[in-house]
Amino acid sequence: MLGLEQPRSVLVTGGAGYIGAHVCRALDASGYLPVAYDNLSHGHAWAVRWGPLEIGDLMDGARLEAVMRLYRPQAVIHLAGLIAAGDSVVDPTRYYHNNLAATLTLLDTMRTCGIHHLVFSSSAGVYGEPDQIPIPEHHPHRPVNPYGATKAMVERILVDFSTAYGFKSVALRYFNAVGAAPNGDIGEAHPNETHLVPLVLDVAAGLRPFAEIFGGDFPTTDGTCIRDYVHVCDLADAHILALSHLDRDVRTRAFNLGSETGASVRQVIDMAIKVTGRPIAIRMRPRRPGDPAMLVADASLAKEVLGWCPGFATLEQQIATAWDWHERYRTIDVRRAALSP
């Protein structure tokens, strides 16, 4: 019917999570209907605001199939999975089940339903301890923790599915996602936070007594780990570009997504002190297992091929949007309750 065209739907696994919710927001802004598929083990129903929420587990092929048949998505953006590199060393079986086995269920269900386009949330964790900085996509995969290993394995599976079954996929290798939607729509709210920036902002907000620095003896200028922090809205935009790429290119490809600048843990804390205007106490701790010293992206391929153009390139902008969100969100009683012993 004229004027009543349905928006094209995209299934977003992990759509109630931090990056997933920002991806749903970007999909909506680009005229797609984002259908969030999430078991709410880490995500939040309140974060699903731009399309329907279908509660389900990735391991549940029957439920997945029912949702795919209901919405007939043109593509799947697959973000669901466990994300803490340090935890993955301690409890690898959870990572292999949730990130690897579950992804195979997803891919098989996509085949059953005739859906062949996938954008996969991969990670800089595939590289391990890199031979060169910045890291190009062709750098060998030598993950140093099970989390990175699962991402590298799924990327390999996608290549095989492309060859054998005509799948088309784009793997987006995120470096360190930070920040929040600048209008305060949505932001980071992991139930058991392990990531540096939100933890440091908790200290600035008086919700935790001190920030921990995992390792002061790395071969970096100040001895702390260097990471490439990239704004979550810039990551979200790359997914929209990846969908268009799938429409026009036949190859299965991987792209780094980073701001191409490294910041040490100490530099992040110093910037958080500057942005918040609050003191942040620190405690030195031993190295966290499975942490490479330095990860910085060469993101030129994403810029050239996808036309990716990050808008929040500086750490100051990234932490400022995270702090705005943090200030709004921490006033919610739920968060205070969740953090109290």
Catalytic residue numbers, as ranges: 147
Compute the least distance from the CB of residue 123 to ligand UDP, in Å.
7
Q: Where in 4-43 is the site for ligand UDP (CB under 6 A)?
A: none
Which residue in the block uniquely carries the two structure tokens 């996808």? 306
DSSP for 259-306, written as a single string: -S--EEHHHHHHHHHHHH-S---EEEEPPPTT--SB--B--HHIIIII
Applying CB under 6 A, which of residues 76, 126, 180, 213 lies at the interface with ligand UDP? 213
196 binds ligand UDP (CB under 6 A): yes
**Shortest distance in whole angstroms from residue 203 CB to ligand UDP:** 10
116, 141 in Cβ contact below 8 A? no
For ligand UDP, which is the closer residue by CB, 29 or 338? Answer: 338
- Candidate ranges 130-138, 211-219, 238-246, 329-337; the one touching ligand UDP (CB under 6 A): 211-219
Min CB(174)–ligand UDP separation in Å? 9
265 binds ligand UDP (CB under 6 A): yes
Find out whether 124 and 256 touch, Cβ atoms under 8 Å: yes
* Residue 116 neighbours by CB under 8 Å, 6+ apart: 110, 165, 166, 167, 168
Q: From the list 144, 199, 207, 313, which residue makes contact with ligand UDP (rule: CB under 6 A)?
A: 199
Task: Pick one of 195, 208, 278, 330: the residue that binds ligand UDP (CB under 6 A).
Answer: 195
Q: Site for ligand UDP (CB under 6 A): which residue of 98, 99, 176, 321? A: 176
Report the 10 Å Cβ neighbour count for 261.
17
Region 284-303 residues binding ligand UDP, contact defined as CB under 6 A: 288, 291
Question: How far apart are CB 226 and ligand UDP at their closest, in Å?
Answer: 8
CA distances from 31 to 125, 142, 247, 261, 300 (A): 32, 38, 16, 32, 27
Q: Rg (Cα) of the chain, in Å, rounded?
A: 19
Q: Does 227 bind ligand UDP (CB under 6 A)?
A: yes
Q: Taking CB under 6 A as the rule, does residue 326 contact ligand UDP?
A: no
- Please report how close the Cβ of residue 200 comes to ligand UDP at its closest, in angstroms: 8
> Judged by CB under 6 A, does residue 225 bind ligand UDP?
yes
Is residue 214 a contact residue for ligand UDP (CB under 6 A)?
A: yes
**What letter does residue 135 receive in the DSSP assignment?**
B
> Pairing mode, if any, of strands 263-264 and 176-178?
unpaired
Please report, to the nearest 10 degrees, the dihedral formed by the alpha carbons of residues 135, 136, 141, 145 taken in order.
Answer: 30
- Give the Cα separation of 319 and 153 in Å (integer): 32
H, E, C per residue of 206-240: CCCCCEEEECCCCCCCCCCCEECEEEHHHHHHHHH
Among 57, 185, 212, 270, binds ligand UDP (CB under 6 A): 212
**Which residue type, as a one-letter code, is found at position 61?**
G
CB of 266 to ligand UDP, least distance (A): 9
Pick the closer one to ligand UDP by CB: 98 or 176: 176
Query: Concatenated DSSP letters for 156-221?
Result: HHHHHHHHHH--EEEEEEE-EEE---TTSS-----TT---HHHHHHHHHTTSSS-EEEE-S-SSST
- Specify the stretch interacting with ligand UDP by CB under 6 A; choose among 20-28, 63-71, 210-218, 320-328: 210-218
Query: Candidates 3-11, 149-157, 188-196, 322-330 — which segment interacts with ligand UDP by CB under 6 A?
Result: 188-196
Query: Where do contacts with ligand UDP occur on this chain (CB under 6 A)?
Result: 85, 176, 194-196, 199, 212-214, 225, 227, 265, 288, 291
